[in-house]
Amino acid sequence: MDRKRKSENSELKQRKKRASSPPPPEESALEITISNAVIKGYHIYQRRPLIGLRLNVVSEHDNQHDKNAMAVFMPALGQIPVDQHDLVTDVKRRLTVRQIAGTSVGHLPASLASILSRMVSDGEVTAMTCVATGPPRRSFWPWPEAGQKGGGPLIPCQVHVQVKDKGKAMATLGAAFSDLGPEKTVLTLL
């Protein structure tokens, strides 16, 4: 009887935990991590995502500047653990997680977005998320400096790509990365 009760309590705790956190990738999905990536556009959006929180990455086909654009959004408030709702993400602007939940924090770099957009169109990618790994900072090599096209402050991150076939997706990304400019020297596939 005690084992059954413990099992039920454990199951209830698991359900509550899942309800208060972002949904995990599909069980059958395979994930590829692109490390040393960045979120661009901090100088425009001026929203600091919570470091370590999974952010949503979505295709933005109606973007007037780039049909392959990939926007990065904070999850909706209901997908963020309750104990994080009132955390201050930006002291200067006095912004909390609650205030920026569900809003855009920037975009993936155009070169990376172009590759991922093509993979989404080809049906290789089932979902994408992004995790900020540090606070916003001045642009650094190999990303363009402020004043240059595509330059400005950026947020270091990792991009998590759920794919149908990891081998095929790794080959696609590897080939596409070899055609990139200097960013190919920092982007790493895991």
Percent of the chain with pLDDT over 90: 67
Residue that is written with structure tokens 């990365």 in the block: 177
At 28-49, the pLDDT tens digits run: 459 999 999 999 999 889 999 9
Q: pLDDT-based confidence at 142, cuts 50/70/90? A: confident
At 1-13, the pLDDT tens digits run: 444 444 444 443 4
Judge whether residue 165 has pLDDT over 90.
Answer: yes
The strand pairing partners of 158, in sequence order, are 131
Q: What is the mean pLDDT of residues 10-20?
A: 39
**Fold type of domain 25-189:** Alpha-Beta Plaits (3.30.70)
**Taking a C-beta distance cutoff of 8 angstroms, is the pair 77, 85 a contact?**
yes
Q: What is the mean pLDDT of residues 75-79?
A: 96
CB contact set of 102 (below 8 Å; sequence gap of 6+): 73, 74, 75, 76, 77
List the chain domain ranges. 25-189
